[in-house]
Structure 1
Amino acid sequence: MFHRRPLLPAFYKHRLATICASVAFISGCALPPLSERTPSQAISAEEAANTRLGQALQPLINAHPGLSGVRALPDAHDAFAVRALLIHAAEKSLDVQYYIWRADTTGMMLLQNLHNAADRGVRVRLLLDDNGIRKLDRELALLNTHPNFEVRLFNPFVIRRPKAIGYLTDFYRLNHRMHNKSFTVDNMATVVGGRNIGDEYFGATDQTLFADLDVLAFGAVVQDVSYDFDRYWASPLAYPIDQIVKLKPTDIIDDLDLGQVLKQNPDRTQRYLHVLRDTELVQELLQQRLDVEWVKTEMVSDDPIKAEGKANAKQMLSYQLHHAIGTPALQVDLISPYFVPTKTGVRGFERLRQKNIPVRILTNSYEATDVAAVHAGYIKRRKAMLRAGIEIYELKKLSSGNLNKKGKNPFGSSGSSLHAKTFAMDGERVFIGSFNFDPRSANLNTELGFVIHSPTLAQEISRLFSERIPYSSYRLALNEHNKLIWLEQEEDGSIITHTTEPGTSLFSRWWVRFMSKLPIEWML
């Protein structure tokens, strides 16, 4: 009797099954085809002029043709209040774009305000990078069912939990993120800067607080921001949330309870309701009493195709920034929380010093940073910059225990970590936005910011380096043995010298040095 041989040995059957399972897994992680989307654009200038904001601002805009009214927002409470109160003032449209939106007290308060605006007939377009909306899938998907509220996720993860699995199968795509931050109301006023949406950005947590900077603007530049939002809204990477997040058949918007988190933190919620009552910035804006500066303001922004890895040099913010802000002739004051200058950047700073142009830099110390890997990318360039004559300051980790106390950090509110991204040039021009001085902002993430031709703002930043930063930071230097030292200036003028990096342990120093040797600088 003849026995039929198996078509495949058992070993190959197992391998084939593994390969098939892997292919199915990878296919399940792939971004699905983009289904039809409802097209929309920013409201017209005519519609905007007929809103309450438009009626208050248009006479001022007409009196300053081609210019923009700008007001810096260094204070965390003011930054929250301006956003919340502008939502209350909105009548036609809210176009909101962020990298991170937290499911915490201030995040939920602002989501609740956006929902209320949609209820009263305001069109809300909310564009969020999908890497920064932890624990918000259901809430955002429910809001998207509102007829006046549309949510899109930029460069989304297909596997919702844990999202990190997506990096195993689609790393190249998912390693590009939308880091832009803008908040535009009735196409008349906008807030642009470094802050995301969450308690740590608005001074509302006992944990890490970020010292940050935004700018409120109206006038000519608002049209540019609205056009840029429309570009991202129409990007092939901007997916309607209902194509990524599936609700249960029984889920309806009436089930939405954005106040649940607020009930868990009643004291914090009440504190921020008081902040809204105490802030008069938006009321002053509506009454044409707000103190602003009318200056030339240029928006610089990456083309959204940068997130697809397809942008050419002229479509990148770095190219636009160079052409908008020009070449320094007198001085450069740079503030960047995540500072990875690379060898090329150090050479650029060295050339400035060879021309006797002073360069001062503020970044996070190890104890203040929230991303140790970025610190590893920075530490290997410190000595070269110091030898070139560059002044380097590292922000100390400041106390964040008292949410109402003004601390010594240079941005006007207590904070334990630097998050502002700004630099001033020649005491005449200043950049404020989302762009960090690192390879990730330059090459991978999309970014947005303003170049503001304002001697007032530029000189304010320069004064920070002269008057406040020395007391809130460690100044770096090299001793006679070419070793790094950290100089801490006390209020009485005395100086404490640290010969080891403040806030570090033997293991943390070893670990950061080890990471600095890895070939990861391009990702930082």
Structure 2
Amino acid sequence: MCMGLAACSRLPAPVHEPVEAVEPNASTVSELARALAPLQQANAGQSGVALLPGGREALAARLGLIDAAQRSIDVQYYIWNDDVAGLLMFDALKRAADRGVTVRLLLDDNNTKGMDALLWEVDQHENIQVRLFNPFVHRHFRFWSYLTDFKRLNRRMHNKSLTVDNAASILGGRNIGDAYFELGQETLFVDLDVLAVGPVAKEVTDDFDKYWSSESSYPVWQVMSAPAEKVSITERANEVRRLEVGRAYHDSVSEQSLIDAIQSGSLVFHWARVHLVSDDPKKALGLAQPGKLVIDALPQLLGTPHERLMVVSPYLVPTSNGTQFFTQLADRGVEVRILTNSLAATDVAVVHSGYAKWRKALLKAGVTIFEMKPAYSVGQVGRPAFSGSSSASSLHAKTFAVDSSHLFVGSFNFDPRSARLNTEMGLVIESPEMVSQVWDNVQNALAQSSYQVTLDPAGNLIWLDHSNDPPIAYKSEPETNVFSRSAVWLMSKLPLDWLL
């Protein structure tokens, strides 16, 4: 029986239909590219980057970018939910395809359960192709696939990008779903994206091409069957537009087009040298060559910290090597600051166990650690780089700042999974202005949004809440119970770090 299941779980080779490339010329250069041309001419050789800190503005930017498309849209995400944000995005892509825009949608298959009919319908448009990365053979009983093909399915495409007309890209930590765009009443993710224009946008397109044509990329028709009932993207999108939050998003996007914002100067870009870092898609097969990974490129591009290092990572698993790295920096007098999720805020407790066991060693070495609270209000901290909500909150942004010169924003977590298992991507930005902006915004938000973790004179962990005067000190992880703390302690004793 097991042999039969294994045989049924094997994937055939992907069938990639050839797509004729559309090269820009004088008559086909898009309006978006023309709007950006004066800025690019004034900043030759550099790329422009604008931070997208708030969730609602991040979704509005995506919808606005899609609405501006005239030639091509390339979309690559780890998660795309069937909710308000997901449906608005699907509908925007469909409307772009109706205008004649070529749309390529590449989704990791790990989180598409229950969406086969929706994805099939999107793929039926003559100008849209949908592919799944590292797909499951068993569409309904995915557990069987994990049992028989765990080594392959454990590697996922964690990349997140949206590129229009080879001219503008949005990259960062956000997936497509309500929780990433400050929608709904459930846990909302505190995240960060950037809108990038100029030469780096073409680099993102070229990188997308590698994933699109990779051995792990499958057309939806090759891995799923036609659904029994047809799904109407337009009807479902109209339904969510009638909701209050749907109307609010429609109005915000309609207020000013992205092209108008660029031409009027209301959308401000920081111009700098910007480098794309992205894993070789063969990493998903365990076949990437040495030196072809994000973990290899980041130290070269970010450089060695001499004064300060800020690491913002929701899923932090430093391991002994990472702990040694941070310790050596602190020993040299480098100010090392880490912001990650508290146990109460994290959405993956087992990952927290991979961090908690190294916490004391990091603190003893002189590393400053802050842990995100499970809830805080935007009104308390103004408009920082990480905007929260009065709903439950969980950190999801991934950004590193080195000295006053280099900034990384992308999908890469400081953990073994990002380093060795999942594919990742992001931008390294050489901009003192942007480093200062992100550093200051994080620093200004820390008192309200996080606990500072310290050691008392006896070496015991203490959590300080600086939102109170004087600060409140907790002797155990705040807003948790003995059962959750015990579970984390038990998981920390297991040899799971390589999976986290």
TM-score interval (norm. to shorter): over 0.9
2:343 counterpart of 1:363: no
Name the % identity.
Answer: 44
Structure 1 residue runs without a partner (length 5+): 1-20
The answer for the alignment partner of 1:7 in structure 2 is none
Which amino acid in 2 is paired with 1:452? I
Q: What is the Cα deviation at residue 209 of structure 1?
A: 0.3
Q: What is the Cα deviation at residue 313 of structure 1?
A: 2.4
Task: Map 1:153-302 onto structure 2 (within 5 A).
Answer: 153-248=132-227, 255-260=231-236, 263=239, 266-278=243-255, 281-287=258-264, 289-302=266-279
2:451 counterpart of 1:471: no
Distance in structure 2 (CA, Å) of the matches to 1:54 and 1:301: 24
Distance in structure 1 (CA, Å) of the matches to 2:335 and 2:27: 44
Which amino acid in 1 is paired with 2:470? S
Contact residue 90 and residue 233 of structure 2 kept, 8 A: no
Which amino acid in 2 is paired with 1:50? V
Task: Map 1:102-501 onto structure 2 (within 5 A).
Answer: 102-248=81-227, 255-260=231-236, 263=239, 266-278=243-255, 281-287=258-264, 289-399=266-376, 411-414=386-389, 416-490=393-467, 493-501=469-477
Q: What is the Cα deviation at residue 364 of structure 1?
A: 0.4
Q: What is the Cα deviation at residue 279 of structure 1?
A: 5.8
Q: 1:238 to 1:67 in 2, by over 3 A?
A: same
Distance in structure 1 (CA, Å) of the matches to 2:286 and 2:87: 33
Contact residue 410 and residue 472 of structure 1 kept, 8 A: no
Decide which moves more: 81-90 or 55-64. Answer: 55-64
TM-score calculated relative to the size of structure 1 = 0.91
Contact residue 29 and residue 166 of structure 1 kept, 8 A: yes
Deviations 1:49-68 (A, max 9, x none): 71111111122212222100
Decide which moves more: 335-344 or 40-49. Answer: 40-49
Give 2:479's match in structure 1, choosing from 499, 503, 506: 503
Give 1:518's match in structure 2, choosing from 491, 494, 497: 494
Q: What is the Cα deviation at residue 25 of structure 1?
A: 1.7
Q: What is the Cα deviation at residue 286 of structure 1?
A: 4.5
Q: 1:121 to 1:279 in 2, by over 3 A?
A: same
Give 2:6's match in structure 1, choosing from 26, 32, 35: 26
Q: 1:184 to 1:305 in 2, by over 3 A?
A: same
Give 1:81's match in structure 2, choosing from 34, 43, 60: 60
Q: What is the Cα deviation at residue 503 of structure 1?
A: 1.6
Contact residue 124 and residue 148 of structure 1 kept, 8 A: yes
Q: 1:262 to 1:382 in 2, by over 3 A?
A: farther
Q: What is the Cα deviation at residue 282 of structure 1?
A: 4.7
Which amino acid in 2 is paired with 1:523? L
Distance in structure 1 (CA, Å) of the matches to 2:245 and 2:381: 17
SS of 1:360's equivalent in the other structure is: strand
Distance in structure 2 (CA, Å) of the matches to 1:384 and 1:194: 28
Deviations 1:427-462 (A, max 9, x none): 111000000000000000000000000111111222
SS of 1:314's equivalent in the other structure is: coil
SS of 1:467's equivalent in the other structure is: helix
Distance in structure 1 (CA, Å) of the matches to 2:341 and 2:398: 12
Q: What is the Cα deviation at residue 174 of structure 1?
A: 0.3
The structure with more radius of gyration: 1
Q: What is the Cα deviation at residue 406 of structure 1?
A: 7.5
SS of 2:353's equivalent in the other structure is: helix
Q: 1:29 to 1:258 in 2, by over 3 A?
A: farther
Distance in structure 1 (CA, Å) of the matches to 2:255 and 2:492: 46
Distance in structure 1 (CA, Å) of the matches to 2:235 and 2:170: 25
Which amino acid in 1 is paired with 2:499? M
Distance in structure 2 (CA, Å) of the matches to 1:197 and 1:48: 33
Distance in structure 2 (CA, Å) of the matches to 1:326 and 1:48: 42
Contact residue 410 and residue 469 of structure 1 kept, 8 A: no
Task: Map 1:34-113 onto structure 2 (within 5 A).
Answer: 34-35=14-15, 37-40=16-19, 43-46=22-25, 50-113=29-92
Distance in structure 2 (CA, Å) of the matches to 1:306 and 1:142: 30
RMSD: 2.1
Deviations 1:311-350 (A, max 9, x none): 1221101111111111111110110000001010000001
SS of 1:222's equivalent in the other structure is: helix
Decide which moves more: 176-185 or 501-510. Answer: 501-510
SS of 1:485's equivalent in the other structure is: strand
Distance in structure 2 (CA, Å) of the matches to 1:140 and 1:47: 35
Contact residue 48 and residue 186 of structure 1 kept, 8 A: no
Which amino acid in 1 is paired with 2:7? S
Decide which moves more: 453-462 or 278-287. Answer: 278-287
Q: 1:311 to 1:466 in 2, by over 3 A?
A: same
Structure 2 residue runs without a partner (length 5+): none
Which amino acid in 1 is paired with 2:308? Q
Which amino acid in 1 is paired with 2:4? A
TM-score calculated relative to the size of structure 2 = 0.95
Deviations 1:335-376 (A, max 9, x none): 000000101000000110111001000000011100001001
Distance in structure 1 (CA, Å) of the matches to 2:310 and 2:33: 36
SS of 1:121's equivalent in the other structure is: coil
Distance in structure 2 (CA, Å) of the matches to 1:407 and 1:244: 47
Contact residue 69 and residue 217 of structure 1 kept, 8 A: yes
Q: 1:494 to 1:337 in 2, by over 3 A?
A: same
SS of 2:360's equivalent in the other structure is: helix
SS of 1:475's equivalent in the other structure is: strand
SS of 1:46's equivalent in the other structure is: coil
How many residues are matched?
497
